[in-house]
A and B are shown apart, each in its own frame.
Chain A
Amino acid sequence: MSTLAHYSRIWLASARYSLVRATMFRGDLFIWASVELLWIFVNVTMVGVIYSHTALVAGWSLYQMLLLVGTSMLIQRFLMGFFWSGIFEMGRNVRSGLFDFVLAQPGDPLFMASTRKLELDGLLNAVVAAGLVAYSAHKLGLHPGVGDLALYAAMVACGVVIHYSALVMAMSLAFWITSSQGVEGSYFTLMEFSRLPREAFKGVASFVFVWLLPVVVVSNAPARAILRGFQASWALGLCAATVAWLFLAVFLFRRGLRRYTSASS
């Protein structure tokens, strides 16, 4: 319990620092919040244009699809808000030797590296994404109970953990290849798959993007929990993927850390 309290205090201190920094650079916060909002708008417009010409895509109606897109955005915004900056800097710091500062801090290096910064713009837009989900559910005439909402929240949290793990694994490659260029692009490219319904994937694409890489499951599982209620196979699949990916990420990070040679002479 004292360990939990210790890490909570560290996280709260980082969060406080991030909030102060964000309020100091208000123009920057406004620009980045607008950027994220605009990207949500771009995705919603794309869906709107497609559905203005067809009623169903892979058996999903307009508002079902918007609920899926909103869920995918929600997961992405939480990741951006809580972890993105810290993990993204990790690759650069490993290369430059600045990772020494993380190792000198009083906590687990992975925790310290990935929770250093909180991005307020990402968290603000999580509210917009949640609004999109709520609006879509309203238009579909859904009235999820407290249990359904708790299940949805837990599944979104699992999705965030899976995305976090994938990013940590990608950035941990910096311990071996000294450059993690292109990782940002690869993440956003993979995120595009998570906005598609599971039923759209056939053959090899289904095997790779549904089973091998859980990019489709992370968004489809929570969206289905709201749309169709609890489905044991999806919930268990998501839990298994979460544990497996987190385990792999921590394993890879620790193996990489052993190779880190520090910046000092």
Chain B
Amino acid sequence: MTKYGQSFLIGLQSNLVYRWNFGVRSIFWFFHLLVVYILWGAAYAGSPAIGGYSFAQTLTYFVVVFVLQFFIGAFNEDYQISEDIRNGLINQFLLKPINYYAYRLSVFTAARVVSGAFGVLALLVALPFFHHYLALPPEGWRLALGLPAMVLTALIQFSIAYCFGLLAFWFLDIQGFVILSMAVETLLGGQIVPLDLLPPGVFQVVRFLPFFYQAYFPAAILTGRQGFDFALQGLAIQAAWAFLLVGLAEFVWRRGLKHHTAAGG
């Protein structure tokens, strides 16, 4: 456990070096929020409620989704892992009693602590402009179920990024795959529209996909878009996906190692 604790501390230090990157990302976040505000504000100008939700509820949903991404989203872990493989840095982990998944997860956790701090900072800057429009529900159970949902979301996001990073065992350049998956995750994860606004039939299909649990699910619990029963069912499905994806990550790692050639002295 100590070695992964050390990895976490090193990850914390190295991510603090890139604090400006997170700062720049916070500025983009503010502009994203502005786009959401302008677009949805114009959409709501013609109708007081969309899908049964007020403008404040929808804006709150997007704010929570964006802030959650700072805390639990996988940003460039796939790229870092693929670089380890491409550059041969992965070899040092093969010679040591270190589980690469656990090592990367500890570095990912450290990175999210740093980016989460920037997310809070960005939120504090945005609050004076948007606080009139924020509407969080008061029920305590939402936080009690929302927090484990967030942890499982982080695990799902990380495991998917990890699997994509491991594709570097087979492909020279994985950027195309990563951005392809990003488009799917953006749409089916509920980052551009709340998924409950999709046609009911589509929503019923999408809720069984892992992408549903990458952003929409914890945000929907925390912002009151889904009730208690739905949240409980969702947590069970989410836990199953997390378990499956961790297993898939291990499987891809083992298969990838069979392809790997460690060269050099």
| Closest residue of B by beta carbon distance from A33 | B176
Q: Is chain A's interface secondary structure helix, strand, loop, or mixed overall?
A: helix
Query: Are B187 and A45 closer than 8 Å at their CB atoms?
Result: yes
- B124 CB to closest chain A CB (Å) equals 20
Question: Of B45-53, B208-216, B228-236, B241-249, which binds chain A?
Answer: B45-53
B residues with a Cβ closer than 8 A to A are: 21, 24-25, 28, 31-32, 34-35, 38-47, 50-51, 173, 176-177, 179-180, 183-184, 186-187, 192-193, 197-199
Q: Out of B42, B183, B186, name the residue touching A58 (CB < 8 Å).
A: B42
**Cα–Cα, bound, A199→B35 (Å):** 13
Query: Are A55 and B46 closer than 8 Å at their CB atoms?
Result: yes
| Closest residue of A by beta carbon distance from B44 | A54
Q: Which residues of B contact A197 (CB under 8 A)?
A: 42
Q: Out of B38, B42, B176, name the residue touching A35 (CB < 8 Å).
A: B176
Q: Given A35-B176, A52-B199, decide whether A196 and B43 contact each other with a Cβ distance below 8 A.
A: no
Q: Which residues of A contact B39 (CB under 8 A)?
A: 50, 57, 196, 200
Q: Which residues of A contact B183 (CB under 8 A)?
A: 35, 38-39, 41-42
Query: Are B199 and A56 closer than 8 Å at their CB atoms?
Result: no
Q: Out of B43, B180, B199, name the residue touching A54 (CB < 8 Å).
A: B43
Q: Which residues of B contact A28 (CB under 8 A)?
A: 173, 176
Q: Which residues of A contact B192 (CB under 8 A)?
A: 42, 46
**Cα–Cα, bound, A258→B6 (Å):** 46
10 A-B pairs within 8 Å (CB atoms) are namely A31-B180, A42-B192, A45-B187, A46-B192, A182-B25, A185-B28, A186-B28, A190-B31, A193-B31, A200-B39
Count of chain A residues with Cβ under 8 Å from any Cβ of B?
Answer: 34
What 5 pairs between A and B have smallest CB-CB spacing? A31-B176, A200-B42, A58-B42, A182-B24, A38-B183
Query: Are A46 and B21 closer than 8 Å at their CB atoms?
Result: no
**Cα–Cα, bound, A224→B44 (Å):** 23
Query: Are B180 and A34 closer than 8 Å at their CB atoms?
Result: yes
Q: Which residues of A contact B42 (CB under 8 A)?
A: 57-58, 196-197, 199-200
A265 lies within 8 A of chain B by Cβ: no
Known pairs A55-B46, A192-B31; list 20 more (Cβ under 8 Å).
A31-B176, A31-B180, A35-B183, A42-B186, A45-B193, A50-B39, A52-B197, A57-B46, A181-B24, A182-B21, A182-B24, A189-B32, A189-B35, A190-B31, A193-B38, A196-B35, A197-B42, A199-B42, A200-B42, A201-B38
**Cα–Cα, bound, A258→B193 (Å):** 47
A residues with a Cβ closer than 8 A to B are: 28, 31-32, 34-35, 38-39, 41-42, 45-46, 49-50, 52-58, 181-182, 185-186, 189-190, 192-193, 196-197, 199-201, 205
**Cα–Cα, bound, A28→B175 (Å):** 10
Query: Are B197 and A53 closer than 8 Å at their CB atoms?
Result: yes
Q: Out of B31, B38, B184, B193, name the residue touching A46 (CB < 8 Å).
A: B193
Query: Are A50 and B180 closer than 8 Å at their CB atoms?
Result: no
| Closest residue of A by beta carbon distance from B177 | A31
| Closest residue of B by beta carbon distance from A51 | B43
Q: Which residues of A contact B43 (CB under 8 A)?
A: 50, 53-54, 57
Q: Given A53-B51, A54-B43, A196-B35, decide whether A38 and B180 contact each other with a Cβ distance below 8 A.
A: yes
| Closest residue of B by beta carbon distance from A199 | B42
- A263 CB to closest chain B CB (Å) equals 22
**Cα–Cα, bound, A181→B47 (Å):** 41
- A3 CB to closest chain B CB (Å) equals 37
- B249 CB to closest chain A CB (Å) equals 22
Q: Which residues of A contact B50 (CB under 8 A)?
A: 50, 53-54
Q: Which residues of B contact A56 (CB under 8 A)?
A: 46
Q: Out of A41, A54, A201, A205, name the residue touching B46 (CB < 8 Å).
A: A54
Query: Are B24 and A185 closer than 8 Å at their CB atoms?
Result: yes
